[in-house]
């Protein structure tokens, strides 16, 4: 596979953890490297990819930077690699369908699924608030961190290494493209499952809210024909609905 080469100028380097890594921390990072199949030359880039804004904000005096800029970069790298894959492997798709397929492949819940597979949440640096409210399992945090990880690999090893990681981590999703079963999102997937067997109405309702207004967590219940199928929580109503749908899908799969 041939990838585009990017030429850019580095304006400045984000400041990561400046401390010397102790043995436990180094082993923790190496464990993740073993899982993803890539060894960083600069461990600081990996640390940066794992640094959530909540952690950086709590240590503002130390001048730490979060993974948000890496996330931006990783998103672009992910899109070019995915576009390249679709273009080369699906010559039958017109431009409009290629765009829709790419959007489905790189959607938030697709990335969340990939992050779960490598247990990315275990390695994140989170602030106390995010830690205490389940941030290691939150869809938005994991999907963003996955993109940041892509950005870190790209900066550390180049476009080829980033491409190898993406294609390896997302091979199941690419397989779903080949079988015309592109992963969309949990709500869509659950709706498709229900519609195969029933025409009952699917509804989502907020059953509880936790935390102050500036840090609200919503809890949503999913029902089919008035019967509860799953609950989920999230920082937004949309995220809570998606997590409720995921819980419902998991419940159905266990029964099969």
Q: Which residues are catalytic?
A: 75, 147
Residue pair 39/29 in contact (Cβ under 8 Å)? The answer is no
Residue 95 near residue 83, CB atoms below 8 Å: no
**Which own/partner contact pairs does 195-202 have at CB distance under 8 Å and 24+ positions apart?**
198/224, 198/225, 200/224, 200/225, 201/225
């Amino acid at each position: 596979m041939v990838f585009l080469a990017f030429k850019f100028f580095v304006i400045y380097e984000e400041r990561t953890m400046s401390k010397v890594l102790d043995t436990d921390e180094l082993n923790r990072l190496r464990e993740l490297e073993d899982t993803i199949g890539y060894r960083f030359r600069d461990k600081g880039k990996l640390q940066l990819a794992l640094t959530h804004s909540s952690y950086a904000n709590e240590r503002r005096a130390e001048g730490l930077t979060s993974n948000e800029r890496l996330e931006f970069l990783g998103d672009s790298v992910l899109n070019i690699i995915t576009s390249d894959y679709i273009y080369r492997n699906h010559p039958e798709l017109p431009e409009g369908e290629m765009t829709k397929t790419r959007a489905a492949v790189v959607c938030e819940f697709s990335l969340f699924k990939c992050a779960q597979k490598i247990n990315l949440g275990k390695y994140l640096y989170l602030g106390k608030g995010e830690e205490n409210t389940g941030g290691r399992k939150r869809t938005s945090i994991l999907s963003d961190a996955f993109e940041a990880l892509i950005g870190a690999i790209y900066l550390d090893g180049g476009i080829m290494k980033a491409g190898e990681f993406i294609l390896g981590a997302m091979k199941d999703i690419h397989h779903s493209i080949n079988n015309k079963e592109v992963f969309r999102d949990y709500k869509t997937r659950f709706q498709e499952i229900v519609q195969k067997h029933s025409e009952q109405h699917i509804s989502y309702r907020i059953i509880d809210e936790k935390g102050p207004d500036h840090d609200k967590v919503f809890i949503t219940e999913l029902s089919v024909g008035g019967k509860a199928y799953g609950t989920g929580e999230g920082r937004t109503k949309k995220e809570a609905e998606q997590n409720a749908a995921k819980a419902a899908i998991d419940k159905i799969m266990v029964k099969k």
